[in-house]
């Protein structure tokens, strides 16, 4: 837990993130980030499509603190929509509110999100509003609810670790929802910290949504949970058109391919862009084994990037040894 919290804190460090952006994909990030620009991401998606796997494209970025950057992010996301349309990619979008200005002011963020969703609606493309840390949760959900009054191509995420995840599921029951366990380090006042509690709540809420709700995205790499829902769907006559499995780009590729081969809708979360640092650090936080991606890179590449990012990674390795 100490390691996880430290990694998540490092993920939110703006200096490390700014330094990392100058150096392209480093430290193993290239295995889990599909490129630094939309054309590279499109190439990766075409490759997924050969395995009958769909994509949700995420132009990386978060915790933006000035309006210029928020506008630039919106422009890049609009350009991503153009790319989906032009290249006929089997893809939709995922975007983060703090990338579009939530930390600057709510109106700026709302307007940016609305512009993206409106443009996506013209092309019949779904937009998922990712949920970030607890401080931004309620305002994010309020914005999604407002947007859903106008648009039907927008949905959001339930983090099963949250104590109030059931209320959130019930509030958005009839909409399209992605269920995750939760990637942020939250206090025990607002979230379960025990894996078993999180897993139980995850299963209960996905079952509730599958039985009574809108389209369900089961976003996990957890084989036991995936197996459970394959059987649950069959036992309850839930048609395969009503749900999909989602996993992150670069993780459990054989399992993703197998699910697609078995006739399930498989959708890969495809992150791309320069701002890879926070995303990558959260992946390391989730699963210490992912640190092998870092250590391989540090020792095999003759890189003089003895930069803050490496310093961050070395801190993590020290922690891992504890």
Ligand X SMILES: Cc1cc2nc3c(=O)[nH]c(=O)nc-3n(C[C@H](O)[C@H](O)[C@H](O)COP(=O)(O)OP(=O)(O)OC[C@H]3O[C@@H](n4cnc5c(N)ncnc54)[C@H](O)[C@@H]3O)c2cc1C
Q: Are 162 and 168 in contact (CB under 8 A)?
A: yes
Q: Which of 11, 219, 259, 313 binds ligand X (CB under 6 A)?
A: 219
- At 287, give phi and psi (nearest 5°): -150, 105
Q: Which of 126, 134, 269, 280 binds ligand X (CB under 6 A)?
A: 269
Q: Which two tokens stand for residue 209?
A: 């949504």
Give the interface size with ligand X as a residue count (CB under 6 A).
21
Q: How many CA atoms lie within 13 A of 149 on its CB side?
A: 5
Kindly name the residue from 178, 275, 282, 283 that is annotated as catalytic.
Answer: 178
Query: Is residue 197 among the annotated active site residues?
Result: no
Q: Which of 251, 288, 305, 319 binds ligand X (CB under 6 A)?
A: 251
Strand partners, 243: 216
Query: Is residue 240 among the annotated active site residues?
Result: no
Please report the beta strands in the chain, taking only residues with DSSP state E, as ranges in sequence order: 54-59, 91-95, 127-129, 154-159, 177-180, 216-219, 243-248, 266-272
Indicate the residue among 26 and 220 with the shorter CB distance to ligand X: 220
Instruction: Restricting to residues 182-201, name those near ligand X by CB under 6 A.
Output: 182-184
State the binding string over 221-240 for ligand X (x if CB under 6 A, else -). Answer: xx------------------
Instruction: Restricting to residues 81-140, name those near ligand X by CB under 6 A.
Output: 130-131
Indicate the residue among 74 and 96 with the shorter CB distance to ligand X: 96
Indicate the residue among 23 and 228 with the shorter CB distance to ligand X: 228
> Is residue 220 close enough to count as binding ligand X by CB under 6 A?
yes
> Is residue 33 close enough to count as binding ligand X by CB under 6 A?
no
Which residue, 161, 159, 131, is CA-closest to 143?
Answer: 131
Distance CA(83)–CA(182), nearest Å, equals 30
Distance CA(123)–CA(13), nearest Å, equals 36
Instruction: Restricting to residues 153-182, name those near ligand X by CB under 6 A.
Output: 157, 159, 180-182
Please report the beta strands in 172-277, taking only residues with DSSP state E, as ranges in sequence order: 177-180, 216-219, 243-248, 266-272
Catalytic residue numbers?
130, 178
The contact set with ligand X (CB under 6 A) reads: 130-131, 157, 159, 180-184, 219-222, 246-248, 251-252, 269, 286-287
């Amino acid at each position: 837990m100490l390691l996880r919290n430290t990694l998540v804190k490092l993920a939110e460090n703006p200096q490390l993130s700014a330094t990392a952006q100058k150096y392209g994909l480093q430290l193993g990030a290239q295995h889990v980030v599909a490129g630094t620009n939309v054309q590279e991401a499109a190439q990766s998606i075409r490759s997924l499509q050969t395995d009958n796997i769909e994509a949700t494209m995420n132009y990386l970025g978060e915790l933006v603190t000035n309006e210029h950057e928020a506008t630039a992010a919106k422009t890049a996301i609009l350009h991503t929509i153009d790319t989906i349309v032009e290249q006929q990619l089997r893809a939709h979008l995922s975007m983060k509110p703090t990338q579009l200005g939530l930390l600057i002011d709510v109106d700026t963020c709302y307007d940016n999100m609305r512009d993206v969703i409106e443009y996506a609606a013209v092309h019949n493309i779904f937009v998922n509003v990712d949920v970030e840390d607890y401080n931004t949760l309620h305002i994010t959900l309020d914005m999604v609810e407002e947007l859903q009054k106008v648009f039907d191509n927008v949905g959001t995420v339930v983090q099963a670790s949250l104590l109030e995840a059931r209320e959130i599921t019930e509030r958005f029951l009839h909409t399209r929802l992605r269920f995750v366990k939760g990637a942020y380090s939250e206090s025990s006042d607002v979230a379960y910290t025990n894996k078993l509690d999180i897993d139980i709540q995850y299963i209960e809420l996905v079952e509730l949504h599958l039985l009574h709700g809108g389209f369900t995205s089961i976003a996990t790499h957890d084989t036991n949970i995936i197996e459970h829902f394959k059987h649950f769907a069959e036992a309850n006559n839930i048609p395969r058109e009503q749900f999909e499995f989602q996993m992150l780009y670069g993780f459990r590729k054989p399992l993703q391919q197998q699910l697609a081969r078995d006739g399930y809708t498989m959708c890969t979360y495809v992150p791309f862009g320069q701002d890879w640092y926070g995303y990558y650090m959260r992946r390391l936080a989730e699963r210490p084994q992912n640190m092998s991606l870092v250590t391989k890179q540090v020792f095999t590449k003759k890189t003089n990037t003895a930069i803050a990012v490496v310093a961050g990674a070395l801190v993590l390795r020290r922690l891992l040894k504890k």
